[in-house]
Amino acid sequence: MGKIIIEYLEGQKIYACKKCNVHVTNQDYLISKQFTGQSGTAFLFDKGVNYLTGIPEDKKLRTGLHTTQDIMCIKCQTYLGWKYLRAYEQSEKYKEGKIILEKLYLTKIKWN
Ligand SMILES: [Zn+2]
């Protein structure tokens, strides 16, 4: 395996991989907490860092057909959520390019 380059986010209120503490995103990028993932509560973020993406797949979700790819931590490769590549319903287009992270796999850093 090649060398992994890990980015460190500046500032407060960082969400990190629960297993290895690699920074993934920040409260500033949070769009919604009203999402549900495989494990329960999930959050929609504008963007993140330090993740790997899987093969694009078409998935029929409650809100219609979407093309998504799984997101894994760049360091420990734990599944964290998914990225929306394409939404087919006009009302869901705002999700394109954005990421879902499941609460169960996240930990909070510098929230005090
Ligand atoms: Zn990790």
For ligand 1, the distance from its centroid to the CA atom of residue 60, given in whole angstroms, is 28
For the chain, what are the domain ranges?
Answer: 37-109
What contacts 22, CB < 8 A, 6 or more positions away?
6, 16, 50, 73, 74, 75, 76
- Please give the pLDDT value at position 1: 58
3-state DSSP call for residue 3?
coil
How far apart (Å, rounded) are the C-alpha atoms in residues 97 and 65? 15
Report the run of H or E that residue 100 belongs to, with start and end. Answer: strand 99-102
- Tokens 């850093």 sit at which residue? 109
Q: Tell me the two tokens of residue 107.
A: 């930990």
Q: Which of these, 69, 54, 47, 49, lies nearest to 9 by C-alpha position?
A: 49
Q: Which of these, 34, 60, 59, 56, lies nearest to 45 by C-alpha position?
A: 34
For ligand 1, the distance from its centroid to the CA atom of residue 78, given in whole angstroms, is 6
For ligand 1, the distance from its centroid to the CA atom of residue 19, given in whole angstroms, is 5
Going from the first residue of the chain to its last (112 residues), give the mean pLDDT of each consecutive group of 10, the final group possibly shorter: 86 97 97 95 98 96 93 97 97 97 97 89
For ligand 1, the distance from its centroid to the CA atom of residue 18, given in whole angstroms, is 7
